[in-house]
């Protein structure tokens, strides 16, 4: 069984006119989506994505296949809405998330993503980025053609190679065992565009309460420039025991 605590914070930032990020904290599933496609369409796309994922919280048992099915539903719903409503043509969204699943009758985490929103894991003082960005600059960094500092200012840094609302909407999924005392950070690139990994890592270990940490991270990103919408979900796993992954009750999201 697991005992999870979560904190959520989001901000429009200092430049954008609307907040096109959406988030989900419901039962076994946590997600952040960063919409794109115009003034209102990005908000619609990210909202569709997290709504589709919320269905995972209603299932008695979840595995990797169910995660893939709900991500596929999110993509289909976005494409269908864009087809029906011409002003939303071309809309899309990143999606990154964390879901408690069962593997061999024991609880595991499924970490999934499309685009450049991220999931980090903090445990025993160490931070690991669990997701790989799906973007042109990330491909250049992995190929050794540019450095991480160069990527932050590269003109193609906003160009994604995967997203919901496109033909290539197959999520990248990692499956990890559940470990007591671990902390996860899910975030849109409004956070990572303003704070370095070192700054994020320092803050992850400096605050016990996940809601206080989420507020502090978003506040720091806005104070550093706030050039984009910024959304953060912090998930703490306090207890881990062998056995079936328990179905957790849906919880009300902070601020709703």
CATH number of the domain at 190, please: 3.60.40.10
Domain residues for 98?
2-240
Q: What is the pTM of this model?
A: 0.89
Q: Indicate whether 252 belongs to any domain.
A: no
Examine the pLDDT at 244 and tell me if it is beyond 50: no
- Let me know if residue 8 belongs to a domain: yes
Model confidence over 59-87: pLDDT tens digits? 999 999 999 999 999 999 999 999 999 99
Structure tokens at 98: 């964390």
Structure token pair of residue 247: 């179905």
Nearest 10 degrees: Cα torsion 3, 113, 191, 13: -100
Does residue 158 lie within any of the structural domains? Answer: yes
Please give the full DSSP string across 137-174, using - where no structure is assigned: HHHHHHTTSS-HHHHHT-TTTT-BS--BTSS--PPEEE
Give me the phi and psi of 5, to 5 degrees please.
-125, 145
**Gap between the Cα atoms of 135 and 157, Å rounded:** 7
109 lies in a domain?
yes
Helices and strands in the chain: count of H runs, count of E runs: 7, 11
Question: Does the pLDDT value for residue 248 go beyond 70?
Answer: no
CA 5 to each of CA 126, 197, 209, 232, 235: distance values in angstroms, whole numbers, following the listed order: 20, 23, 9, 14, 6
Residue 121 lies in a domain: yes
**Is 112 part of any domain?**
yes
Q: Comparing 10-24, 64-78, 148-162, which segment has the lowest mean pLDDT?
A: 148-162
Assess if residue 123 is contained within a domain.
Answer: yes
| 142-161 mean pLDDT | 74
Helix or strand (DSSP H, E) at 49: helix 41-53
Report the domain count for the chain.
1
Which of 132-146, 173-187, 241-255 has the highest mean predicted lDDT (pLDDT)?
173-187
Residue 43 lies in a domain: yes
Sheet holding 183-187, edge to edge: 2-11, 230-240, 183-187, 118-123, 126-129
| pLDDT above 90: residue 254 | no
Q: So what's the pLDDT on residue 256?
A: 33
pLDDT computed for residue 239 by the predictor: 64
User: Between the CA atoms of 104, 240, 2 and 187, what dihedral angle is there, to the nearest 10 degrees?
Assistant: -90
Least trusted range by pLDDT, from 16-20, 45-49, 73-77, 164-168:
164-168
Residue 63's SS3 state is coil
Average confidence score pLDDT of the chain: 89
């Amino acid at each position: 069984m697991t005992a999870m605590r979560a904190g959520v914070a989001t901000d429009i930032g200092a430049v954008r006119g609307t907040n096109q990020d959406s988030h989900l904290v419901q039962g076994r599933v946590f997600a952040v989506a960063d919409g794109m496609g115009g003034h209102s369409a990005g908000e619609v796309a990210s909202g569709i994505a997290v709504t589709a994922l919320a269905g995972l919280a209603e299932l008695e048992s979840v595995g990797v296949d169910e995660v893939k099915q709900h991500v596929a539903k999110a993509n289909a719903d976005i494409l269908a809405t864009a087809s029906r409503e011409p002003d939303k043509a071309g809309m899309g969204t990143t999606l990154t998330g964390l879901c408690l699943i069962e593997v061999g009758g024991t609880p595991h985490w499924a970490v999934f993503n499309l685009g450049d929103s991220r999931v980090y894991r903090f445990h025993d003082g160490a931070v690991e980025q669990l997701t790989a960005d799906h973007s042109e600059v990330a491909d250049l960094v992995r190929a050794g053609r540019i450095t991480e500092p160069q990527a932050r200012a590269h003109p193609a840094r906003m160009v994604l190679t995967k997203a919901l609302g496109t033909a290539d909407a197959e999520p990248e999924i990692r499956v990890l065992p559940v470990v007591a005392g671990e902390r996860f950070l899910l975030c849109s690139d409004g956070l990572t565009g303003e704070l370095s990994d070192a700054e994020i890592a320092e803050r992850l270990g400096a605050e016990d309460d996940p809601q206080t940490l989420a507020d502090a991270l978003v506040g720091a990103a806005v104070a550093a420039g706030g050039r984009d919408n910024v959304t953060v979900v912090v998930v703490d796993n306090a207890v881990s025991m062998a056995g079936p992954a328990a179905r957790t009750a849906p919880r009300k999201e902070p601020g709703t």
